[in-house]
Amino acid sequence: MENSVKIKVGLASCGIAAGGLDVFEKVENFLKDKEIEAELMNTGCMGMCYAEVLMEIDDEEFGNTMYGYLNADDIDDILHAHFIKKQPLKDKIVYSDKLGGDEGEILEFQTRIVLRNCGVIDPESIDEYIERGGYKAIEKVLKEKSPIQVIEEIKNSGLRGRGGGGFPTGIKWELTYQETSDKKYIICNADEGDPGAFMDRSVLESDPHSVLEGMLIAAYAVGSDEGYIYCRAEYPLAVKRLRIAIDKARKRGFIGKNILGSNFDFDLTVYEGAGAFVCGEETALIASIEGKRGMPRIRPPYPAQAGLWGKPTNNNNVETYANVAWIIRNGATKYAEFGTEKSKGTKVFALTGKIKNGGLVEVPMGMTLREVIFKVGGGILNDKKFKAVQLGGPSGGCIPESLLDTPVDYDSLVKSGAIMGSGGMVVMDETTCMVDMARFFLNFTQDESCGKCTFCRIGTKRMLEILNRICDGKGEPGDIELLEELSVKIKKGSLCGLGQTAPNPVLTTIKYFRNEYEAHINDKTCPAGVCKALIKYVIDEEKCIGCGACKRACPVDAISGEKKELHTIDQDVCIKCGACMTACKFDAVKKM
């Protein structure tokens, strides 16, 4: 008989990094010592990464209770209160269907389709996936639908590619289906490389079977019998759980020959990428699988015509495939109820940066940026002032406060100068320097350029040199205009999306925060106080009591002064680390 008490500990990468393995062991020992009958299981990421480690207890007496912000030292007290004293520790509860909790509202704003099983099931258990309707969609497809009927269902749903481009998924499948070939391939692009993005990793770690089932349906629709999941090697847990899922699906007859008694054959291989950002571009990814250097090629022909080893190939990302089984089971009409006219369904975002509730959220398309950041994300960390949000990673743009009511959909974001991208959302507060932020993203794309295109290889290098000069206090009149001119040429002259979008962070920060560039160049000041060459630390003679705390904290002996007398900072020696300001308890050290 199944145990009526279940305890789940979040063991995706975020949970493990926060100490989840120690928490799991402590729970296991407590249950054994106290002889408590309960089923202990690990699960994936529920999205509330900021509250890790998370532990969920599901029992008849208190219902579903989730405890958060845990470490191993908390476990004995929590479990003793919950099971022995029958008085759950409410200050550790983040969500409960009976006892309340702070996170209930945040979850209510979300619509979980892609994340429907994340944090709910054991990602290494195929039985738990099946219990929640898993593999019913592929069974329905094989018994009731022709390939073209599947494609029409996906087209009618309005699902667009979630990897960044937003190309209609059904049309992409149709193009591959229409090609005549003795061999076709299916690829899942799990080469997630944007700084601040971890949507695909979390889905693969938490619900790998949903991606496999989506790929199976796509393979049936286009006529493929072989597929690859291209996952970067920096995601070892995702790779491990993918391989476990594939092995178990194969043993159950969902992968292999004559699937579910049909004439449909399909097999899968996990291919580990070496971490090149450019391999997120589909032709570079295909080259990498073929054993070549990951570099994009001219299109046409498109992969649907001539992709992997010259054969017709369909390539979608993790999130796109994770939507497919839900659409088949619930219908295109139901899926199309969410979102806007041209952007249907939901979108998963990774909220990072200066935000209180960092983690994963899934919201209907059309929700505004303000709602995502302040309602779902909880607002700005330490209640500082919002400044900007970076969307689309290095390929995207920085959106200012004046555009916070922009709906989150493909077309609206493009009009603002950003893009949806894969779903990274980096929030910045008043302490962020927008010139430095543009430099950060351009440094990333310049470093990740494969070097094939001259405009991308050399143009981004020249832009980065200008940004470095500006941040070092050596900016010159005309630098802004030169950055804009280079941006236009790089966008026009680059072969793939990396180069074509690399200038976006620079262009949007110039567009919306031009005053910061001008301050750096003309006034030799950094308004946010970030660029070291443009700031200095001074000691206020009226507040300094000569305690010597700043002097003791300085790592380079730049501060002089006798006890109980005014101290001073030698600007020629100071490395501007800020240790003196941190050490001062009297607010006497100022950053200028």
> pLDDT of 451-476, one tens digit each?
999 999 999 999 999 999 999 999 99
pLDDT for res 101: 63
Pairing of strands 424-429, 346-353: parallel
Q: Identify each DSSP E strand in 183-264 by its residue range.
A: 185-190, 226-232
Instruction: Please say whether the dihedral angle defined by the alpha carbons of residues 433, 439, 442 and 447, taken in this order, is positive or negative.
Output: negative
Backbone angles phi, psi at 274, to 5 degrees: -90, 5
Task: Report the distance separating Cα 475 and Cα 495, nearest Å.
Answer: 30
pLDDT for res 2: 53
pTM (2 decimals)?
0.93
Axis crossing angle, helix 136-144 with helix 208-222, rounded to the nearest 10: 10
Domains of the chain and any CATH numbers: 6-104 (3.40.30.10), 126-336 (3.40.50.11540), 346-429 (3.10.20.600), 434-523 (1.20.1440.230), 536-591 (3.30.70.20)
Q: What is the pLDDT of residues 274-304, one digit of tens each?
A: 989 999 999 999 999 999 999 999 999 999 9
**Neighbour count for residue 510 (Cβ, 10 Å):** 21
Q: What is the pLDDT of residues 409-439, one digit of tens each?
A: 999 999 998 888 888 899 999 999 999 999 9
The tokens describing 483, both together, are 């950055």
pLDDT for res 1: 39
Task: Report the distance separating Cα 68 and Cα 351, nearest Å.
Answer: 18
Burial (Cβ within 10 Å: 0-12, 13-18, ≥19) of residue 368: middle
Per-residue pLDDT of the chain (592 residues; tens, 9 = 90+): 356 899 999 999 999 999 999 999 999 999 999 999 999 999 999 999 999 999 999 998 898 999 999 999 999 999 999 999 999 999 899 988 776 666 666 778 899 999 999 999 999 999 999 999 999 999 999 999 999 999 999 999 999 999 878 899 999 999 999 999 999 999 999 999 888 889 999 999 999 999 999 999 999 999 999 999 999 999 999 999 999 999 999 999 999 999 999 999 999 999 999 989 999 999 999 999 999 999 999 999 999 999 999 999 999 999 999 999 999 999 999 999 999 999 999 999 999 999 999 999 999 999 999 999 999 999 999 999 999 999 988 888 999 999 999 999 999 999 998 888 888 899 999 999 999 999 999 999 999 999 999 999 999 999 999 999 999 999 999 999 999 999 999 999 999 989 999 999 999 999 999 999 999 999 999 999 999 999 999 999 999 999 999 999 999 999 999 999 999 999 999 999 999 999 999 999 999 8
Task: Report the distance separating Cα 42 and Cα 32, nearest Å.
Answer: 17
Query: In DSSP terms, which residues pair with 185 in a beta bridge?
Result: 226, 313
